[in-house]
Amino acid sequence: MFGLVGWLLYWLLTLFILVMIGRMIVDWAVTFQARGDWVWKVRRVTHGVTEPVLAPVRKVLPPVRLGGFGLDLAFTLVFIAALILRSVVS
The b/e string for 32-71 (b: 16+ C-beta within 10 A; e otherwise) is: eeeeeeeeeebbeebeeebeebbeebbeebeeeeeeeeee
Q: What is the pLDDT of residues 2-34, one digit of tens each?
A: 788 888 999 999 999 999 999 999 888 876 777
Q: What is the pLDDT of residues 50-88, one digit of tens each?
A: 999 999 999 999 888 888 877 889 999 999 999 999 999
Percent of the chain's residues with pLDDT above 70: 98
Mean pLDDT in the chain? 89
